[in-house]
Structure 1
């Protein structure tokens, strides 16, 4: 899945900065995604759950904060946030973080092959403000604390093994993580206005107990070559983002997703979706709301991101118009769904079932605007795979 087979020669206007013997550009090599007709068609009227969907798609409520998950005795957590899906025999599991403090943590819902909820349970407790995270190739969930000097916890989606704190992955205001099995690294975002983009190189792939934390070093523009430098003190006694001269700053790192040689990540402070080409070691913009022609950006408040085998990216909004937007491989951005009547909330945790036919996500604060009002949904339909 390569969204761009080559970098376009045309470069948008902007300043340039010399870096590493090459020219750094003030804007992306390739024109960022622009609004257009999405692959799923127009949104319909709100359904019974207040969700506007394209024709052929349906929604259901899976769980509500403070209430028992239907079909189980487990009470769903408050402020559901980042999530992921895992194959479980002929069924699957959806895990979800809880972005509250001090309890935080994460929970899971197990589904049968037909999509029936069979159980729900806790997989992480005693942590703080667990925002996003990431799935590993060995089927664990990395739950990230979005607090100063926060930790990454490696958890078991099946709830059998105890969660393990992974100190070597650094202490900072963690947001999301994405594993790159081809290079044996885990990329991580940092949710502060002058945050950085990191990668962790474990000593042994599949074992996160030890390794090297590195930070991306680059010029001041939005596209060009990058390098990586070791963070001297991952413990964060001195903020990790301030330990390496030339570390590139990103305005509020959010979601992170890796697929086929590219790591996509979002920054909420400037409503951008970035793409890091891991083989070429370059970055560029996949989307920037300030560069949308006509000034009518369909995607604002960029947050969590996931993708499909077809190459489509699904980006959730923190605020905005409470939409999940799709960015296609041919650089078209369009709304896929919209949640009505929940303007004081945000969309979190988008993740697809293993077969790609169901999309899970949450409205973190639901209709009440409170962390106790979270709602977790499932959308089923003819997704492109």
Structure 2
């Protein structure tokens, strides 16, 4: 199964997935790939890449975690911060790298520890990182990317095998995916927007409406079975909101779905997208007419997984992780790509 990741960076680009039957080879907006650099990264003319973190090695004094996964960028004065989850059993959590305005690394530090299999998550409008556990009764933790406040579990958002989250400020809701073959699509409506401590967890139903989950903590019955007419999605993963539409991927059937909060309608969605692919170990550009062209490719990384794509706040740098499993531990690297990305 090819694993793919959904991302949007303001008006710059979208990264996601598309049904395999709808795509066809075509020309991309950035031109052909040049030969790979010393790190095995092939990019179009005008773009350059570097590795900013490696599992097991020091980054500004911090030993970088194994199995880097979901990530996001946050503004930090004239610089920015990149946050990365660790999909490690029992020793998961998340860490952050702080960059100066010139792109140099200023600091690195942990923002979450003592959790398990932190795979994906999402950024909030108030600049916190929601790190999700992909365990049977996984939790969502709200983390401070700036390292000033301790992470807190948000149990009202449900105890299940979490995929990712996306925030909808207009409707004051947080959408959540579930990584189960018969998983659901949820939304959490906090009592006070900006405070995720309390609120109602709801599930999308077959009629297109929402029904509240009676017991989000799932002490005996899993959340996905508590509402009889809940819609089922095959292993929900990445999740993103743009222009009032929440798009999410399902890796079980290799689809992207979109939920229009204004129209209360969900449907399959296609393009325009950037796609971070594991099978080909590359990032592709998919245009609105379904044409696919490579944007970045890693040579000599067969079997690796790509994850955690995120743009710097100005849209000029793209971050993503590459990881390869070995001896039960996934060593990985965090790449940075800079260049003339299209600005919308």
Corresponding residue of 1:361: 320
Residue 156 of structure 2: SS of its match in structure 1?
Answer: helix
Shift of 1:218: 2.4
Corresponding residue of 1:282: 265
Q: Where in structure 2 are the equivalents of 1:97-112 lying within 5 Å?
A: 97-112=85-100
CA–CA distance in structure 2, aligned partners of residues 271 and 250 of structure 1: 11
Q: Once the two structures are superposed, what CA deviation does each residue of 1:291-318 show, in whole Å capped at 9, x if it has no partner?
A: xxxxxxxxxxxxxxxxxxxx9533322x
Kept after mapping to 2: 8 A contact 1:201/1:212? yes
Distance change in 2, residues 1:106/1:203 (3 Å): same
The total of aligned residue pairs comes to: 325
Kept after mapping to 2: 8 A contact 1:364/1:371? no
Corresponding residue of 2:144: 156
Kept after mapping to 2: 8 A contact 1:345/1:369? no
CA–CA distance in structure 2, aligned partners of residues 158 and 231 of structure 1: 33
Q: Where in structure 2 are the equivalents of 1:1-385 lying within 5 Å?
A: 35-69=25-59, 72-218=60-206, 226-237=208-219, 238-287=221-270, 313-317=273-277, 319-329=278-288, 331-365=290-324, 371-385=329-343
Residue 45 of structure 1: SS of its match in structure 2?
Answer: coil
Kept after mapping to 2: 8 A contact 1:32/1:286? no
Residue 373 of structure 1: SS of its match in structure 2?
Answer: strand
TM-score, length-scaled by structure 2: 0.89
CA–CA distance in structure 2, aligned partners of residues 246 and 136 of structure 1: 29
Distance change in 2, residues 1:33/1:243 (3 Å): farther
Kept after mapping to 1: 8 A contact 2:276/2:306? yes
CA–CA distance in structure 1, aligned partners of residues 241 and 327 of structure 2: 31
Residue 150 of structure 1: SS of its match in structure 2?
Answer: coil
CA–CA distance in structure 2, aligned partners of residues 240 and 180 of structure 1: 22
TM-score, length-scaled by structure 1: 0.80
CA–CA distance in structure 2, aligned partners of residues 326 and 216 of structure 1: 30
Shift of 1:274: 1.5
CA–CA distance in structure 2, aligned partners of residues 253 and 32 of structure 1: 20
Kept after mapping to 1: 8 A contact 2:85/2:120? yes
CA RMSD of superposed structures (Å): 2.1
Residue 364 of structure 1: SS of its match in structure 2?
Answer: strand
Shift of 1:119: 0.5
In structure 2, runs of 5+ residues without a counterpart are 1-9, 12-18
Shift of 1:194: 1.1
Hey, which of these two has a bigger chunk of strand by percent? 2
Shift of 1:206: 0.3
Kept after mapping to 2: 8 A contact 1:252/1:269? yes
Q: Once the two structures are superposed, what CA deviation does each residue of 1:183-238 show, in whole Å capped at 9, x if it has no partner?
A: 1011111111111111111011000000011111127xxxxxx2211111101231
Residue 365 of structure 1: SS of its match in structure 2?
Answer: strand
CA–CA distance in structure 1, aligned partners of residues 203 and 330 of structure 2: 36
CA–CA distance in structure 2, aligned partners of residues 207 and 34 of structure 1: 44
Determine which structure has greater relative contact order: mean sequence separation of CA pairs < 8 Å that are 6+ residues apart, divided by chain length: 2
